[in-house]
């Protein structure tokens, strides 16, 4: 066997590597999608109720928009001292130089973002994307020194991201994902449009 054949065989082996059966069942089979439904609705309710409360609050989206964010950031900046600070220096720089000067804008973004993530998770629409943005917010809250339910929601979000193909099966993704597909695999809508554009034989 020459070098080219050995390399070809190695590549075929690598391409055939599969996830363990447990992972395949959990993340790819709709049989277990009820698990993701429970976790999805729990996390979605946490986000939606938090976002709805902020949208109705004066310090978040009212006349004093930005006041709550300013207080939150100020508290985070106080945790930057010591040998093992709760808030790292690079993140403190971001809070002080990017968030604080634009507190009102960030206030709206946080409130609306939390609500949108929550609603998307509850109804199961673009579940993987919603979970990603939820995890992103959890990471930012943790980096700002706030624990609360963030570690739990972050773990749930990671699992929902891994199970993105089936996590929304008991939701709108059951119809939306096959219709739209993904950037690397267009769904039925785009395939039908492509067929319509192709000239008849």
Whose tokens are 């690079």? That residue is: 90
CA-to-CA distance for 30 and 174, rounded, in angstroms?
10
**The pLDDT of residue 152:** 97
Q: pLDDT in tens for each of the 201 residues of the chain? A: 677 777 677 666 656 667 788 888 888 889 999 999 999 999 999 999 999 999 989 999 999 999 999 999 999 999 998 888 999 999 999 999 999 999 999 999 999 999 999 999 999 999 999 999 999 999 999 999 999 999 999 999 999 999 999 999 999 999 999 999 887 888 888 776 666 666 655
Q: Please give the torsion angle defined by the CA atoms of residues 13, 15, 21 and 26, in that order, rounded to the nearest 10 degrees.
A: 170
Of 105, 91, 187, 177, whose CA–CA distance to 142 is shortest?
A: 91
Of 80, 192, 95, whose CA–CA distance to 140 is shortest?
A: 95
> Is residue 128 within 8 Å of residue 121, measured between CB atoms?
no
Burial degree of 46 (CB within 10 A; 0-12, 13-18, 19+): buried
């Amino acid at each position: 066997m020459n070098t080219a054949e050995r390399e070809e065989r190695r590549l075929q082996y690598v391409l055939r590597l599969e996830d363990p059966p447990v992972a395949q069942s959990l993340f790819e089979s709709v049989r277990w999608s009820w698990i993701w439904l429970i976790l999805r609705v729990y996390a979605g309710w946490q986000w939606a109720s938090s976002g709805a409360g902020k949208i109705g609050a004066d310090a978040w989206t009212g006349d004093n928009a930005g006041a709550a964010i300013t207080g939150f950031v100020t508290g985070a900046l106080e945790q930057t001292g010591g040998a093992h600070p709760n808030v790292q220096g690079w993140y403190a720089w971001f809070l002080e130089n990017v968030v604080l000067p634009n507190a009102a804008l960030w206030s709206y973004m946080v409130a609306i973002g939390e609500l949108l993530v929550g609603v998307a998770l509850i109804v199961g629409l673009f579940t993987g994307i919603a979970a990603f943005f939820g995890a992103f917010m959890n990471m930012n809250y943790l980096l700002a020194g706030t624990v609360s339910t963030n570690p739990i929601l972050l773990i749930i979000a990671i699992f929902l991201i891994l199970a993105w193909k089936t996590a929304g099966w008991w939701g709108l993704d059951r119809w939306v994902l096959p219709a739209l597909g993904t950037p690397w695999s267009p769904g039925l809508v785009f395939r039908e449009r492509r067929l319509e554009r192709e000239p008849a034989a």
